[in-house]
Structure 1
Amino acid sequence: MNTITIAQASAATQWQSLVTDFGSPLMVIDCAKVLQQYQQLCEALPGVQHYFAIKALPHLSVLKTLAQAGAGFDLASSGEIDLLRQMAVSPRHTIYTHPIKRDIDIRSALRFGCTTFVVDSPQEMEKFLPYRQRVALLLRLSFPNPSSPINLSRKFGCSPEQVPLLLKLSQRMGMTVKGLSFHAGSQCPNPDNHVRAILTCAGLINDSLQYLNGRGLGVLNIGGGFPVPYIDEVPSIHTFCSKIRTALTALPAHVQVISEPGRYIAAPAATSVSSIMGIAHRQGRCWYYLDDGLYGSFSGQLYDYRRYPLTVFSDQHEREHAVLSGPTCDSIDVIAEDIRLPRLSMGDLVIGHQMGAYTIASATDFNLFPRARDVVINPPDETGMNLSL
């Protein structure tokens, strides 16, 4: 269930000024927060090179902010490559982590200059035979995480027991495998699965010498999954990564450690602003219809299993049973129900927090309602609007 904060009506002024200037709904992206999250992750995992998962928040200002800070980028499609082409990013600072690729995807990445790819099966490895002199591969392993709300080892990844077979196959194919990769699950409640995966991979890296003619593996991609607070509290990033830092000491000294964070950097960096466009009373509840909903910025409630902290503004003390609904004709388009709110009016604002990850990215044009307009504050350069909240 969403948590809803009732703020004083005067606190809506800063948001209302944006709606006056740009209309509603809005998604306000704060690039200063993007930078802050990235820097905190770097401090929590010193020596780890972070490749931002573009899929979480594919916005040019976000990517420019991270590029200027020294981040790399995790690619999963030709469309994401096209987005990077709009800015000066060295392809050496990219990895292509989608384990399943078409030949056209491989060729698109190679034209861009990306040469590190993730695979998880013999069938995927075979796709690189025509390009084996140009690429280096990471083997993705599966480490299921029942405690994570999104188990990213369900759809991808080989078992640790398959690694020796895949390494031997790479030798027969003349293919370069330079490391291992895993994803411990998204929005992990604790780092235990990261630790288990790292220690397992450390053993496999030590054993790899016998399968790769003494060359061994030199890269470990520990994925993402670092949690952020939505409704429930989570450990700070420094606390969460403490056990991970300890586990990484089990790796041979030559191993380069990388990660592919998405949610941790993106989620706190965007705030949604929507307006009440309709009001109805039925079955003892007041229904407030917003100009944004589950088919728009709140799509993460469906696809990402997230509930977002919300704020409404009122000086009234009385509360009534209410529902917050999206604008479309579909009855599934309900943001929050069984909630108690003060009496609101047409045009009043509803603010959604922690909404940067997997929201804009999965929003649709259903019913042809316009998507929320992006407003960038604290931009990295002149491409954004120089606003400050």
Structure 2
Amino acid sequence: MAHSVLDFSSFSALSAEETHLIETSVAQYGAPLLLLDCDTVRSQYRALKAALPDVTLHFALKPLPHPAVVRALLDEGASFDLATSGEVDLVASQGVPAENTIHTHPIKRDIDIRDALAYGCQVFVVDNMNELEKFIPYRDEAEVLIRLSFRNAEAFADLSKKFGCSSESAIKMMTRAQELGIRIKGLSFHVGSQTTNPNKYVEAIHACRAVMEEAIELGLPALSTLDIGGGFPVSYCSKVTPIKEFCRPINAALATLPETVQVLAEPGRFIVAPAVMSVASVMGQAEREGETWYYLDDGVYGSFSGLMFDHGDYPIMAIKQGERFPSVLAGPTCDSIDVVAEHIMLPKLENGDLIVTRVMGAYTSATATDFNFFKRAQTVVLNDMVADQRMIG
């Protein structure tokens, strides 16, 4: 499509230009829609790269595994973080060089390892002895990062509840790896999704540095890599610290590492969350207990799946303006939990009127379902310059 005039990270009312683009998109494709702006993907990547200038950014595909996102980031020089064979297939289909990828799922089937190696990805993550020993047959091909656990109850998702090991266990794995001839490349961690406190990274970096120093004292091979994971926050209905300021203490902590240590990160949400706006239409309405219930053609089992899986708190607005009344937005399915927003103030809407939601790029379409045979929202890609260039060429 033509160049976007949407500012998906804005919290203000829609402009006339934005409204026109949304309405013409619905007229062309129908509703519900997800409008994916590749320009926003690029600008988010550039902002994080500027905030972490000495860190190699591996985009984590999990929150939005869309080919257009891969193309846009590849054009920016990004690297990629893979976790499944399906994600391997996606990056391979878009021409991503295997040397620009790492495989970070701490628990893998043998076929997952073989698929990644066949593609050419050679760096993997483990967090326990059982997983380490899976690499005995591949010790001449693969390198391993050991993932440490740092609990974070403040995060959207405390990923260290499910993955990661203690510093003591990491040293034991390094010792065992040396016996087995498996190459340990470095350490990794993930402080949790949507982490709003940068000191969580600082604490983890210092703890990893201590493990690296202990390994040298024990005569183990020096570690060359630290992967600081993802979790960089974005603003939903509440503002978060600007990314440059957020990363300042992280950069200070990274500066204490030996100069020989390469630092990686796995941003996902930060790159894609602001890049998508959802558009749903009212398909019916009813008065219930003093509020108007508007039934949308998208809901919790669709693009609003993040309300269930990601603790989402999305900025929602109606295109129509006017006096506002207590309202409820519900999804289209016959399930009573399919409610998008309660006690929301909205103007009086008619069937067919549009509801627009910002910051819908992370863990929305990726976790949507076809429950009740309601089709998922169609994704309309804006500013896919790489695809446009290929077509011209």
TM-score band by shorter chain is: over 0.9
Deviations 1:115-144 (A, max 9, x none): 100000000001111111110000000000
**CA deviation after TM superposition for structure 1 residue 279, in Å:** 1.0
What pairs up with 1:210-225 in 2 under 5 angstroms? 210-211=217-218, 213=220, 215-225=221-231
Hey, what does 1:162 align to over in structure 2?
169
Q: Which residue of 2 aligns with 1:39?
A: 46
1:242 aligned counterpart, secondary structure? helix
Distance in 2 between residues matched to 1:8 and 1:201, nearest whole Å: 47
Alignment of 1:22-33 (within 5 A): 22-33=29-40
Task: Let me know the Cα RMSD of the aligned residues.
Answer: 1.9
Tell me whether 1:324 sits opposite 2:296 in the alignment.
Answer: no
Of 227, 231, 235, the residue aligned with 2:237 is 231
Specify the alignment match of 2:117 in structure 1. 110
Deviation at 1:314, TM superposition (A): 2.5
Aligned partner letter, 1:297: S
Q: TM-score scaled by structure 1?
A: 0.95
Deviations 1:282-315 (A, max 9, x none): 2211110110010010001100011100111223
User: Deviation of residue 164 (structure 1)?
Assistant: 1.4
Asked whether 1:357 is paired with 2:362, we answer yes
Q: Distance in 1 between matches of 2:386 and 2:232?
A: 28
1:133-181, Cα deviation, whole Å (9 max, x unpaired): 1100000000001221210100000011212111101011111001000
Q: Is the CA contact 1:299–1:359 (under 8 Å) kept in the aligned structure 2?
A: yes
Where does 1:1-389 land on structure 2 (aligned, <5 Å)?
12-211=19-218, 213=220, 215-317=221-323, 319-382=324-387
Q: What displacement does 1:6 show?
A: 6.3
Work out the CA distance in 2 between the residues paired with 1:384 and 1:58: 21
Counterpart residue identity of residue 256, structure 2: A
CA positional deviation for 1:12: 3.0
- 2:228, 2:264 within 8 Å by CA — same for their partners in 1? yes
Secondary structure (helix, strand or coil) at the match of 2:281 reads strand
CA distance in 2, matches of 1:326, 1:296: 8
Gaps of 5+ in 1: none
Contact 1:51/1:74, CA 8 A, preserved across alignment: yes
Number of aligned residue pairs: give it: 382
- Cα distance per residue 1:228-258 (max 9 Å; x no partner): 0001110000010000000001101100000
Shift of 1:382: 2.7
Q: Distance in 2 between matches of 1:205 and 1:10?
A: 54
CA contact (8 A) 1:327 1:333 kept: yes
- Checking the alignment, whether the CA contact within 8 Å between 2:75 and 2:386 is kept in structure 1 is no
TM-score for the superposition, normalised by structure 2: 0.94
Structure 1 residues 50 and 11, CA gap change in structure 2 (3 angstroms): closer
Percent of residue pairs bearing the same amino acid type: 49
